[in-house]
């Protein structure tokens, strides 16, 4: 699993603006591309929303 905070997109927007990014993506890469597992607010407790023993994790 990997994470990507939308704060990293401040300089990458095209035609739009990310003013105060507060969310991050939990994702993984597989043979077909990117699989988004969760979109979480940065104030959320990660351990409550991601089970490291789940079959979703590669």
Average pLDDT estimate for 11-30: 80
Please report which confidence band the pLDDT of residue 53 belongs to, taking 50, 70 and 90 as the band edges.
Answer: low
Farthest CA pair distance, the chain:
40
Average pLDDT estimate for 7-32: 81
Please report which confidence band the pLDDT of residue 18 belongs to, taking 50, 70 and 90 as the band edges.
Answer: low
> What are the helix (H) ranges across the chain?
46-49
Average pLDDT estimate for 13-35: 83
Q: What is the distance of C-alpha 57 from the center of its chain? A: 14
* Total-model pTM: 0.67
Please report which confidence band the pLDDT of residue 48 belongs to, taking 50, 70 and 90 as the band edges.
Answer: confident
Q: List the structure tokens of 22.
A: 């507060």
């Amino acid at each position: 699993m990997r994470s990507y905070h939308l704060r990293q997109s401040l300089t990458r927007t095209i035609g739009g603006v990310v003013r105060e990014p507060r969310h991050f993506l939990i994702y993984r890469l597989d043979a077909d591309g990117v699989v988004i597992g969760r979109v979480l607010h940065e104030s959320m407790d990660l351990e409550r929303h991601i089970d490291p023993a789940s079959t979703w994790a590669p």
